[in-house]
Amino acid sequence: MHFVHDLAESLTPGSAVINIGDKGYEESIKRWAVTAEKRAGLVVFPSTPPDVSKTILCATRLGVELAITGGSHSTSGSSSTDGGISMNLSRMRGVTVDPEAMTVTVQGGALWEDVDKAAAEHRLATVGGTVNLTGVGGLTLGGGYGYLSGAYGTVVDNLLSVQMVLASGEIISVSERQNPELFWAIRGAGAAFGVVTEFVFRAYKQENLVWAGMLAFPPDKLSSILECANHVIEVSKGEATIMVGFTTPQPDLPPCILTVVFYNGPEQSAKALFEPILKLDPLLNTTAMIPYPEVNAFHNANVPDGARRTMKGSTFTAPVDIPFVESMFNDYVSFIQSTPDARKTLILWEFISPHKIMSVPHNATSFANRGPYGNVVFVTEWTNQELDTVCREWTRNMARKARNQLLKTRGGGQGVGVYTNYEGMNETPAKMLFGDNYERLVELKRRYDPTNVFGRCFNLMPGHGGDVPRN
């Protein structure tokens, strides 16, 4: 194991190499989902791009699995490894804002809260995740939706350049001008091509407060809420977003409908648009004019670290079929009643105006989900290990139902209808994730990562022995 010793000796100050049994090892393998935790043979915390390069080369020379983690929010297990090398980018969280150029430069291990905070200091904002404790890297490289996507597109539509490390250990710059084919590939399938150590995003002025908050309703209001959501996604020019969730707030309370509303504009205009919901006598109403970064923290309390979790998703055609969503709520209630340990399970329907996203051609980036869609995500949470199979299978079945409904309602030429970050990528054929972009991705994969070092999220190497785990 002299490679490991040499690696530890060669890393820059501020980096760390942790072996099994070392102080800090147990903490180093923790993940947002306990079910995604695996016992790595070695955990490396790089602090510079050369550290990342050396770690990749160490893994390839040893012939061991390499797993990359940033925000540690994957439930699939793809960011963890049994016995291999786990590379944790959490010591690379720097954010630099250039207010004149309207750009934000972000290190590969940053969280979205780091980005939101730094940008807000200059009265700017970027398109980022709706849960600010997630990692910038994972969300971005899979496409990325946020509250500002209706106005400005996906996260990858606002990505200007990256610095990344390839399987060869080479550190390169990637943009429309430099390595443009790779830039095309990483905007949607980035996890399969290397480790991004720096992102440069386009920023936008965000000088005003936004109107946003949570509202809770009894189940009998679901139909009226969905009618409003369909209307919002139809008429919004990108300034409004609404999310409709199924949740059970307390053990002694029944399931309810939790709605998140967002309007990037004046309070009066927001209340006029959402008036059909506001007049439904919500059980809870936290709406107010608030700074934009606070919106991305709404869900944090509902999804803390340390639970057993699985996550799957689908897209839905907008306007959504209301009876179908009502049937899914009934399925949710039945599951919670039969499996009370999973009462913290959340189903969230995201109504984000798709027009800006659809204005980008399907083949402009590898991200191929450009259609009249919203996203639905199933986040199942439980505590008893004996329920692992039950909870995972229920989640898969719910995602399958949503997918089947999508296939009934979608039209031709509307993209793949799959959002990779929600899909449970290592259970879904890459051809389904990328559609007409798949063959080009396979070609580029053979060029940049011929031995499939980065093959844990989805497999772009048909027939390659290093297939991904199933969780």
- pLDDT, tens digit, for every residue of 224-240? 999 999 999 999 999 99
Dihedral in degrees, nearest 10, Cα atoms 461, 465, 467, 469: -170
Long-range contacts formed by 60-67: CB under 8 A, 24+ apart: 60/167, 60/451, 60/453, 61/3, 62/3, 62/4, 65/456, 66/453, 66/454, 67/38, 67/40, 67/456
Q: What is the CATH number of domain 2-88?
A: 3.30.43.10
Q: How far apart are the first and last CA of the chain?
A: 30
pLDDT in tens, 353-405: 999 999 999 999 999 999 999 999 999 999 999 999 999 999 999 999 999 99
Dist CA 309 CA 379 (whole Å)? 7
* Domain 95-205 indexed as CATH 3.30.465.10: yes
**pLDDT tier at 468, thresholds 50, 70, 90:** very low
What confidence score (pLDDT) does residue 72 get? 82
Dist CA 166 CA 188 (whole Å)? 17
| Share of residues in the chain with pLDDT > 90 (%) | 86
* Of 333, 264, 344, 331, nearest in space to 304 by CA: 344
More confident residue, 208 or 426: 208
More confident residue, 258 or 413: 258
Dist CA 354 CA 246 (whole Å)? 23
Q: In sequence order, which residues have a C-beta less than 8 Å from that of residue 58 and are 6 or more positions away?
A: 3, 4, 6, 7, 85
Is the pLDDT assigned to residue 447 strictly greater than 60?
yes
**pLDDT tier at 1, thresholds 50, 70, 90:** low
- Region of 414 (left: φ > 0; alpha: ψ -120 to 50; beta: rest) is alpha
Mean pLDDT of 157-183: 99
Mean pLDDT of 398-426: 84
What confidence score (pLDDT) does residue 385 get? 97
Dihedral in degrees, nearest 10, Cα atoms 316, 402, 112, 35: -170
pLDDT in tens, 127-142: 999 999 999 999 999 9
Mean pLDDT of 314-323: 96
What confidence score (pLDDT) does residue 8 get? 87
What confidence score (pLDDT) does residue 424 get? 60
Dihedral sign of CA atoms 56, 38, 312, 198 in order: negative
Mean pLDDT of 103-117: 98
Mean pLDDT of 198-216: 98
Mean pLDDT of 413-418: 83
Q: Which residues pair with 386 in a beta bridge?
A: none
What confidence score (pLDDT) does residue 457 get? 87
Q: How distant is the alpha carbon of residue 12 from its chain centre? A: 30
Name the DSSP class of 345.
-
Dist CA 470 CA 396 (whole Å)? 12
Is the pLDDT assigned to residue 116 strictly greater than 90?
yes
Q: Where are the domains of the chain?
A: 2-88, 95-205, 210-425
Mean pLDDT of 172-183: 99
Positions of E strands within 144-290: 159-165, 171-175, 195-202, 204-205, 210-217, 240-247, 256-263, 284-285, 288-290
**Number of neighbouring beta carbons within 10 Å of residue 409:** 15
Q: What is the CATH number of domain 210-425?
A: 3.40.462.20
* Of 158, 8, 54, 79, nearest in space to 421 by CA: 79
What confidence score (pLDDT) does residue 5 get? 79
What confidence score (pLDDT) does residue 414 get? 78
Answer whether 445's CB lies under 8 Å from 193's CB.
Answer: yes
Is the pLDDT assigned to residue 307 strictly greater than 60?
yes
